[in-house]
Amino acid sequence: MTVRIVPVTTLDPAPDAAALAQAWNDVLVATTVATMGDDHDAWSLASRRAREASTSWSHRYFAAVAEVDGADRVVAAAELMLPLHDNEELALLDVCVAPEHRRRGIGTLVHDHLTALAREAGRTTFVAETAYLKDGTDPGEGFLERQGFALAQTMLRNDLDLTDLDRTALTPRNGSATAGYVIETSTDDTLDEWLEDRAHLQRRMSTDSPVGDLEFHEEGWDADRLRAQRETTRQSGRRAFESVARHSGSGRLVAFTQLQVPTAEPVLAYQQDTLVLREHRGHGLGAAVKAANLAALRRELPQARTVRTWNAQENGPMILVNEAIGFRTTATLREWQRRRG
Ligand SMILES: CC(C)(COP(=O)(O)OP(=O)(O)OC[C@H]1O[C@@H](n2cnc3c(N)ncnc32)[C@H](O)[C@@H]1OP(=O)(O)O)[C@@H](O)C(=O)NCCC(=O)NCCS
């Protein structure tokens, strides 16, 4: 089988380019379904488009095309992600071969193509992910080991069933613990007046949350980058809910949490980052901002049935907060890394 690797763009509305982008995305979804079943987290085409337009990261998409039954078909789909503002030695790779075309060297061919481009861009640390349902496996692990990657971090995918929620877990713990802080909620993403403080919190998110053996370094965040991220979320067709804790003494934001919900299918909400600044921990602020956000989600989108989050296995404090609310593990996600290209 002769395989060609061609670039894909989701931003060109011309019929041929749009058809290739659709076929490419279909392979990404099919490979995810093969490992995760219908309860998967593959990005929608709208999200892929919004990510490709991002200015913080370069997202380059590729298809491996081969003749199958007399017609050209996409047999593998791939993405190369390069951070542009920070972590400039890093490249994230995603290689997905359609299940019926595996073990013929196509994955290796695509991997080699991505890594050559990453090296040309000066990247020396490569990271890739695998994911599987609880008690499952992912063929990607054997593949990545063969390519010289080592396991760097294990994340647990934890789901909260909103239809079976212990409402007391959502009662904000006001009173003595959170006295001195005010919880504020926005049902439409990060508010303009929060941006400066939120940029500081987002920088701390990149240094204060556990990264296992991954060589991730501090990210450079400012108000403009957060504005751009807000735009990416909107263009992805997602709504974002955000709650923050304001320290009454200083007037500064000291904690935040964010949920995103695809508007096309608002039954599943994604719990994004949560952070309490170190010096303000121990006051129940993590639970308080999460409770306020979940209450807003239930009010605004009562059709939401599940909230999904990923937590580093070693992140005991976050897992304890989530377990108390009612989150349960449904899948595993593992980060793999290869240093010096
Ligand atoms: C992982 C994946 C890309 C491999 O694609 P592929 O075309 O089958 O890979 P190759 O044929 O190039 O395999 C090269 C080598 O990797 C290893 N490998 C591949 N699949 C494997 C598996 N299921 N179990 C163990 N080792 C495996 C083998 O050493 C293989 O060589 P061999 O076939 O001579 O034994 C494909 O299974 C896939 O799309 N999985 C889902 C997405 C994913 O997990 N991607 C990896 C993260 S980027």
**Residue 129 maps to a domain:** no
Query: Which CATH number do you get for residue 54?
Result: 3.40.630.30
Residue 107 and residue 51 in one domain: yes
Per the CB < 8 A criterion, the answer to whether 44 and 32 are in contact is: no
Range of the domain at 32: 3-123
Secondary structure (3-state) at 99: helix
Q: Please indicate, yes or no, if residue 143 is contained in any of the structural domains.
A: no
Q: For ligand 1, atom 25, name the residue with the nearest CA.
A: 142
Mean pLDDT by 10 residues, the chain (341 residues): 96 97 97 91 91 92 97 97 94 97 98 98 97 87 97 95 73 64 94 96 91 90 94 92 97 97 93 94 91 93 95 88 88 94 61
CA distance 84 to 2: 34
* pLDDT of 340: 77
* Beta strand 3-8 pairing with 253-262: unpaired
- pLDDT at position 265 is 87
Asked if residue 107 has its Cβ within 6 Å of ligand 1, the reply is yes
Closest Cα to atom 26, ligand 1: which residue? 142
Residues 180 and 273 in one domain: yes
User: Does ligand 1 come within 6 angstroms of the Cβ of 110?
Assistant: no
Is residue 187 located within the same domain as residue 294? Answer: yes
Assess whether the C-beta atom of 106 lies below 6 angstroms from ligand 1: yes
pLDDT of the residue at 244: 97
Is the CB–ligand 1 distance for residue 149 below 6 Å? no
Residue 83 in contact with ligand 1 by CB distance below 6 A: no
Residue 214 shares a structural domain with residue 117: no
Per DSSP, the residues of 125-139 read EEEEEEEEETT---H
Tokens of 276: 């309490």
Do residues 98 and 1 lie in contact, with contact meaning Cβ atoms separated by under 8 Å?
Answer: no
Note whether 119 and 163 are same-domain residues: no
pLDDT of amino acid 178: 80
- Predicted confidence at residue 341, as pLDDT, reads 61
Is 183 part of any domain? yes
Residues 169 and 283 in one domain: yes
Residue 108 CA to ligand 1 center (angstroms) comes to: 8
pLDDT at 183 (0 to 100): 96
Q: Is 94 in the pocket of ligand 1 (CB under 6 A)?
A: yes
Q: Check whether residue 52 and residue 112 sit in a common domain.
A: yes
Pocket probe for ligand 1: among 103, 104, 110, 338, the residue whose CB has the most ligand atoms within 8 Å is 103
Alpha helix segments (H runs only) across 209-307:
223-235, 285-300
| Of 167, 159, 165, 175, residue with least CA distance to 284 | 175
Q: Evaluate whether 324 touches 169 at the Cβ level (below 8 Å).
A: yes
Q: Is 3 helix (H, G, I), strand (E, B) or coil?
A: strand
DSSP state of 43: P
Q: Which atom of ligand 1 lies closest to the CA of 96?
A: 39
Q: Residue 43 falls within a domain, yes or no?
A: yes
- Has residue 176 been placed in a domain? yes
Asked if residue 283 and residue 164 are part of one domain, the reply reads yes
Same domain, 164 and 246: yes
Asked, for residue 232, whether it belongs to a domain, the answer is yes
The total number of structural domains in the chain stands at 2
Give 214 Cα–ligand 1 centroid separation in angstroms. Answer: 22
Question: What is the predicted pLDDT for the residue at 70?
Answer: 94
Both 184 and 286 in one domain: the answer is yes
In-domain check, residue 29: yes
What is the 92 CA–ligand 1 centroid distance (Å)?
A: 17
Distance 138 CA to ligand 1 centre (A): 9
